[in-house]
Structure 1
Amino acid sequence: MTISTLTSTEPDVAPVLPTRISVQPSATGVVVEMLDRGDFLAPRLLSIDGARVRIALVGCCAMLVAGDRLELDIAVGAGVELELVEPSGTVAYNARGGNASWTARVTVACGGVLRWQAAPLVISEGADLTRCITIDLAEDARAVSSEVVVLGRSGERGGALRSSQHVTYAAAPLLVEELDLTDPELRSCPGILGDYRVIGTVAIFGHRPDTLPSPTATYLAGPGALARVLSHAAHTIEHEMDQWWRAWNR
């Protein structure tokens, strides 16, 4: 009798430990039900003021390198306002043939608010990053976000980035965006990025502002708006983006 043993040729993949945050309403205002450190980010409570909570996302190690799988789960309860703070930016390093991923899953209950002014994300030469953000807003929930993506460090063209953002409001699609910046030649074409390498975005979901803060802003089909700016250097758009942020956080 011959017994054949099948062995897998796939490499062992360690399970991902996500960073988990859950803030929920309580009789006295708010309770932080979950503040779990993940493989790459450690949430730190900064303050609680009534139903308002400020939490910092602190990096645990150098990231992102080939094989890194950063995952973030955020739940904002009814009537709770959560502000996320990032003390430092994120760098996707040269993957040397590998790849990395960055995933955030957000739910905001009725009357809840998420404010997330992210630090810059830098895509180094040779990096290969897939980033996915999903935001599920209940009716009367709101989210305001700000982000800056920089393609390459000083003197670099930058690596490959695939970025998707899917936002729903009251179970209906509000924003479905797929951004493919993997090919440096294609993304440098006119009508895409040209010779720009910095993309700044401020968005509000769950509320339609009375006015748009700049000519580059646009209303979404549902309750929300988005403003985007391109530049050669991140510091040149800080003032403009800060104005948008303040306007949509009133």
Structure 2
Amino acid sequence: MDGTTRVGVTRAAGRVRCDLRPGALSARVLSTGPGVARVALVATRALLLGGDHVRVEVHVGEGVELELVEVSGTVAYTGRGRAASWTVDVVVGDGGLLVWDALPFVVAEGADVTRSTDVRLGAGAVALLRETLVLGRTGETGGRLRSSTRAEHVSGRQVTGVIHDPDTATPLHRVSGSPTTGVIPDPDPLRELFVEDLDLGAHRALPGILGTARVVDSVLLLGTRPPAARPDDAVATVRHPLRLDLDGPGAVARHLGASTHDAGLDAVVATWAAAARAARAAVVPDPGNDPDQSIMLQTTGA
């Protein structure tokens, strides 16, 4: 069964507008504030069954903060020969912020699941995403999971010189004052920030892949660089989640383990979320100056 859930949050004339369209998940407003909305995602039926194709579309408007809260985790059940998919498409407008601390996604024995997450960030936009993949319920080895993540952002980069046609070598842009030098806009401002493909199938237990681990817990921050861990930070000194800084603004923290209880990434989420909100505050005007802070909800469906 297919089901597309849409969550949109925008600001217009000083108002926060929520556009919520239910699908396999239903979005419910938990709270709102000046330029901020907190929305829960609630399953409308049993998920995830063989043959299900769930899609979640999230749009965060310019200068808005959206926090998504999951009421319960998701279990992909035995598909009896039928595959299932879980697709997330995220767009965060200029100066926007998305915080999504997702609950565990469990792939039970016999399930065959494809997950994909695509994120596009505008100028000054930030996204913090938690993804906890669990292979099997207690006593199970788990089914097959293929998971891909793509993130792009507006680079804001400028190119020095003239862009030439690759076939004819003729200039495509000419800069005033010099035929060969100068500053021109980037012709392709969207840049890949993070790309990952995980194929956790029959060979995932091999050395160098997962080994004995059955939990892949990740926190991905896009659009800003998180602060360095302090020496007295329990996350840094005790549980040692792996942190990798991206080539662009962002980082990923990851833990591979046997259970969801020993990852130590809850503290990472809290610290990085605070850094993300601070980064947003630096580029977005104080919403308290808006003359009208009323909330407008537009909901379609149950």
TM-score (norm 2): 0.74
- The alignment yields a C-alpha RMSD, in angstroms, of 1.2
Q: Which residue of 1 aligns with 2:122?
A: 138
Secondary structure of residue in 1 paired with 2:39: strand
> 1:29, CA displacement in angstroms?
4.1
Query: Mind listing any 5+ residue stretches in structure 1 that lack a counterpart?
Result: 1-13
CA distance in 2, matches of 1:211, 1:140: 20
Q: Which residue of 2 aligns with 1:22?
A: 8
Query: For the Cα contact (< 8 Å) 2:134–2:216, is it kept in 1?
Result: yes
CA distance in 1, matches of 2:146, 2:119: 18
CA distance in 1, matches of 2:31, 2:149: 29
Give yes or no for the alignment of 1:205 onto 2:222.
yes
Going from structure 1 to structure 2, the CA distance change for 1:158 and 1:145 (only over 3 Å counts) comes to same
Q: Which residue of 2 aligns with 1:36?
A: 21
From 192, 195, 200, the counterpart of 1:176: 195
> 1:226, CA displacement in angstroms?
0.3
> 1:17, CA displacement in angstroms?
3.7
Query: For the Cα contact (< 8 Å) 2:122–2:153, is it kept in 1?
Result: yes
Give yes or no for the alignment of 1:54 onto 2:54.
no
Secondary structure of residue in 1 paired with 2:266: helix
Secondary structure of residue in 2 paired with 1:235: coil
CA distance in 2, matches of 1:55, 1:98: 32
Secondary structure of residue in 2 paired with 1:188: coil
Q: Which residue of 2 aligns with 1:8?
A: none
From 139, 142, 151, the counterpart of 2:135: 151
Amino acid at match of 1:192: I
Q: Which residue of 2 aligns with 1:245?
A: 269
Give yes or no for the alignment of 1:231 onto 2:257.
yes
How many residues are matched?
230
More RCO (CA 8 Å, sep 6+): 2
CA offsets 1:22-67 (integer angstroms, 9 cap, x no match) = 10012334111x10101x1000111111111000000011111111
> 1:233, CA displacement in angstroms?
1.1
Give yes or no for the alignment of 1:79 onto 2:98.
no
CA distance in 2, matches of 1:209, 1:83: 18
Query: For the Cα contact (< 8 Å) 2:227–2:272, is it kept in 1?
Result: no
CA distance in 2, matches of 1:65, 1:103: 15
Amino acid at match of 2:193: L
CA distance in 2, matches of 1:234, 1:225: 21
Give yes or no for the alignment of 1:125 onto 2:109.
yes
CA distance in 1, matches of 2:31, 2:227: 31
Amino acid at match of 1:94: T
CA distance in 2, matches of 1:219, 1:17: 35
> 1:77, CA displacement in angstroms?
0.3
From 82, 95, 105, the counterpart of 1:98: 82
Larger radius of gyration: 2
Query: Mind listing any 5+ residue stretches in structure 2 that lack a counterpart?
Result: 155-189, 230-234, 275-302
Amino acid at match of 1:31: R
> 1:190, CA displacement in angstroms?
1.3
Residues 188-203 of structure 1: matches in 2 within 5 Å? 188-203=205-220
CA offsets 1:163-214 (integer angstroms, 9 cap, x no match) = 000000111100011000021xx11111111111011101100001231564
Identity percentage over the alignment? 44
CA distance in 1, matches of 2:201, 2:48: 17
CA offsets 1:112-156 (integer angstroms, 9 cap, x no match) = 000000010000000000001000001100000112111000100
